[in-house]
Amino acid sequence: MRIETIQMSWFRGAADPVSLESNCKSLVVYGENASGKSCFVDAVEYVLNNGKIGHLTHEYSGKHQGKAIHNTHKPKGQKTELRIRFENDSELKVVINSDGSFTSSGAETIAMNTWRYGRTVLRQDEVAAFIHDTKGGKYSALLPLFGLHQLEIAAENLRHLAKSVEKQSKLTEAKTTLSRIKTKRKETFGADSDGQILTKIGDLHSSYCVDQVTTRDALPRCEELETAIHKRIGQFSVDQKRYLALHSAGERDLKSPLHDIRTASVELAQAVEPFIVEKLEVLAATGEFVEKLEDKKDVECPACGQMIPVETFRAHVKTEQERLQTLRDTLNARKTSIGTLSDNVKSLKSSLSKEDVKLWKEELSKGPLADNLTYLDQINAEALRTSCEEKDLKEIEDKLVPLIDTAAADSKDAPVEVQKLSTDKEIVSVGKDTITATDLAASAARAEVLISFINSLEQGVREEIRLRSEAVIGEISQDLCDMWAILHPDEPIEDVRLYLPQNTDKAIDIGLKFFGVKQDSPRLTLSEGYRNSLGLCIFLAMAKRESDNDRPLILDDVVVSFDRNHRGMIVEVLEKCFNKRQVLLRTHDREWYTELRQQLEGKTWGFKTLLPYETPDIGIRWSHKTTTFDDARSHLKERPDSAGNDARKIMDIELALIAERLLIRLPFMRADRNDTRMAHDFLERLVADGQKCFQKKVGTDYVTHSDALDALHKVDCLLVSWANRASHTFDVVRPEAMKLIDSCEKALEFFKCTSCDKWIWFADAQGSEWVQCQCGEIRWRYGKG
Amino acid sequence: MPSDVQWIAARIAEARKNHDSVTDAVSVRMEKLLGDELSEQLLSTTKLSSIAKLLVADMVPASSDTEAKE
């Protein structure tokens, strides 16, 4: 979809409506600095980026953008508006509010906000941005071209799904519970196997549940055992019950978990503080660090500041990860010990809250352990799991351990049957937990397999992304290589291509051969000019990839750092690769503009020049000419000498290109003076050669084009006298400068046919000897001067 | 992609080679998800949680599976 016009009112530098009219052709716009060329690009960017302009980000974005969007001298009552008309006659109208926000209407059939700015517009300061971006940034920039959006989404969803499964299956909690049960099992059963534990449960079942043979399953057996033991306890005497409760309380082990928690806490305290300090330093340096990893073999370690090889750094990172894992293990051990402590405190509370030990507690409450009993009543054992500090441990140690010791001492002489029943009760309880843990362990294992399965799918999707990316990258690289070869023929930089670095996801870089040596990044060897050239090629290669979209390409002053040789080849790239796309070129380079005006086909290209900017209330204005003489005219009022000097400079450029086109033979000059010939040198030869070579058609015959030669001679005289004065003594007056400019412009017009509007070198005529305009009204004979 | 049914099926079959305890129910559900919701847009935590819950339930072998294995 081609753009027909871009019209701006009071937007940026524009005042009353000013339109860029392309007639749906490609267009070259010339304007000196600050003439308003980029305002048209800003207008397109504003529309494409939903009311944002990149170079106004930060302090002049959002609600402050209004300050930069409107012309500073916009009269009250005037609206800031943009109108973009397309080749199908639809028009997008954007009205911009005082705060920089906007409302848009029209052009419903053209979803202009779906055009990607980065594929449509390339500005001078963005040319090398892709090259300087990180590998991840390059990847993100290219990703939409790969058409892998769905795969990327799938990979990301799978990554989050794996975490969600971990959370949903309570895997971490299950592992903590299993660890706690394992500890209790070891305390109760030592190294007994599952079979041996089941045998013990079976034996106890035979002993306590003589009449019950209903089941051989372990868990129901445990439940039957618990009922039977409970029943047996119910038949105990008061003394036996007291012994049992005290024995059970005395069996509680608080000392081990207290010790384990403290040990883990000390280890954590010793390790965590310096670790956190180091991690903060690492995090602070991460951004810079990642940058350095991309291109260098050595990096500065953010922790120690030493230069180290990347491989060493990776080993360093691995060590840090292992340290982190050790810390996590210690944290988990501490959590398990806290769980054990909580369980044991709960059991102790349960044992000593029984009616059977009421008298024992009454006796105790009269002595020094009264506070200890009060503490036992008040402690919330479950709350320890979420908060367990040293003061809690100290209180448990001071208050509960003496109670356990007393209970153990007072139950030491318990009758044998009570001791045995207490032990059996514990075996059944832990045995039941162990049997239950089998299911929990199976559930945890299933969750782990599921997570691993999902991770494996994610890896598969990422691998597919890589494969498909490589294919697309291969195609883009081929275009990149071809364009580079056009811009830089026979140069020692070759095989320029994009590639996916190994062992890194979501990353792309640019490789090339520099004097035959393979380089992993253009930043290693390329000069700024070459990087810009490469940046332009990459933009164009990516834009070409979207050629089906048929959207315009807007290139804003992108050849600033190109020298004449390379700049000249850009036309070839555009004509070869983008002859069916609309290209809107903007330049402040007069010489290049003149070249383009002479080289590009008028059927598909238009040329426009902006007048120099005067004041905000006058705004951006077009020149009626396609030449750049209006630049010179803009100085007539204040500085006629500058006007005269500009006219001479324009003639230097225009005539050099005409002389080149007409194969004018010039005497050889020493050193680099061949490249610095001036208008007079060319005019002298053109007038001399023109006597034999410059002809116009009169009737059916050709005669010497004396009008043109007179005009050229006359302008040569004016340049020698007035233009030289303008350059050297600055004493040219306004009428003189005005006459000089008009004469220069008129003289150049003789090289373009007034009938067919084509240059005199438009076509070969009569073999290779003559060139002529399209209709043959004017012609030039090569090399016959 | 993931509208590419055969590609998804092949991916899942490949991943199952190293995860033989993954059930058919998980495979079927994952195949449908990859061809549908998981590839359309980034899902919310709530949505992912509900999918995760279903997958966790799918991982429990059906009694016929258990019997078959036994």
Question: CB-based burial of residue A160 (10 Å sphere; 0-12 exposed, 13-18 middle, 19+ buried)?
Answer: buried
CB contact under 8 A, B48 and A164: yes
Query: What distance lies between CA A13 and its chain's CA centroid?
Result: 31
Could you report the average pLDDT of every consecutive run of 10 residues in chain A (785 residues)?
A: 91 91 90 89 89 76 75 89 90 87 80 78 82 81 77 91 94 88 89 91 87 75 89 87 87 88 84 67 51 56 64 67 74 85 90 88 90 92 88 92 91 85 90 90 94 94 86 87 87 84 78 85 81 86 76 86 79 85 90 84 87 88 81 83 86 86 74 69 89 90 92 88 70 84 91 90 79 90 68
Alpha-carbon distance A677 to A655, whole Å?
A: 10
Nearest-Cα residue of chain B relative to residue A455? B15
Whether the Cβ atoms of residue A537 and residue A103 lie closer than 8 Å to each other: no
Which residues are CB-neighbours of B42 under 8 A, at least 6 positions away? Answer: A153, A156, A157
Pick from B14, B19, B60: which is nearest to A452 by CB? B19
Angle at the Cα of A679 (from A780 to A749), degrees rounded to 5? 50
Q: How far is CA A666 from CA A661, A683, A709, A737, in A?
A: 13, 11, 18, 28
Among B residues 29-58, those touching chain A with beta carbons less than 8 Å apart? 30, 34, 37-43, 45, 48-49, 51-53, 55-56
- As a whole number of angstroms, the distance between CA A741 and CA A431 comes to 107
CA pair distance A735, A739, nearest whole angstrom = 6
| Residues across chain A | 785
Q: According to the 3-state scheme, what is the secondary structure of A224-256?
A: HHHHHHHHHHHCCCHHHHHHHHHHHHHHCCCHH
Q: How far out from the chain centre does Cα A605 lie?
A: 35
Determine the residue of chain A that is closest to B17 in CA distance: A453
C-alpha A643: how far from chain center? 48
- Nearest Cα to A611, choosing from A624, A596, A599, A601? A624
Shortest Cα–Cα distance, A439 to chain B (Å): 11
Number of helices (H) and strands (E) in chain A: give both, helices first: 27, 20
Strands A517-519 and A3-9: unpaired
CB contacts, 8 Å: B42 with chain A: 153, 156-157
Backbone dihedral region for residue A772 (phi beyond 0: left; psi -120 to 50: alpha; all else: beta)? beta
Q: Of the candidates A456, A166, A450, A165, which has an alpha carbon nearest to the alpha carbon of residue B52?
A: A165
Residues of A with CB below 8 A from B49's CB?
A: 164, 167-168
- Tell me the sheet residues that pair with A16: none
Query: Least CB-CB distance to B26: which of A169, A450, A460?
Result: A450
Nearest to A51 by CA among A21, A78, A82, A77: A82
Q: Which of A156, A445, A454 sits opposite B42 (nearest CB)?
A: A156
- How far apart CA A677 and CA A685 sit, in angstroms, is 12
Residue from the list A164, A447, A460 with its beta carbon closest to the beta carbon of B15:
A460
pLDDT value of position A548: 62
**B15, B52, B59 ranked by CB distance to A457: nearest:** B15
Q: Do B55 and A165 touch (CB under 8 A)?
A: yes
pLDDT on residue A672: 60
pLDDT of residue A405: 92
In this predicted structure, what is the pLDDT of residue B70? 38
Element (DSSP H or E) covering residue A19: strand A18-21
Structure tokens at A209: 């549940």
Amino acid at A697: K
Angle at A634 between CA A628 and CA A638, to 5 degrees: 150
Query: Quick one: which of B45, B14, B46 has its CA closest to B30?
Result: B14
| Shortest Cα–Cα distance, A408 to chain B (Å) | 45
pLDDT of residue A233: 86
Chain B residues close to A154, C-beta within 8 Å:
1-2, 34, 38-39
Q: Chain A residues within 8 A (CB-CB) of chain B?
A: 148, 150-151, 153-154, 156-158, 160-161, 164-165, 167-169, 445-447, 449-450, 452-454, 456-457, 460-461, 464
**Opening angle at CA A465, ends A459 and A466, nearest 5:** 90
Kindly report the nearest CA distance between residue A433 and chain B, in angstroms. 21
Q: Note the ipTM here.
A: 0.92
pTM (two decimals): 0.60
Cβ neighbours of B15 in A, within 8 Å? 453, 456-457, 460
CB contact under 8 A, B22 and A168: no
Which residue from B1, B15, B51 is facing A161, i.e. has the nearest CB?
A: B51
Portion of chain B with pLDDT greater than 70, in percent: 84
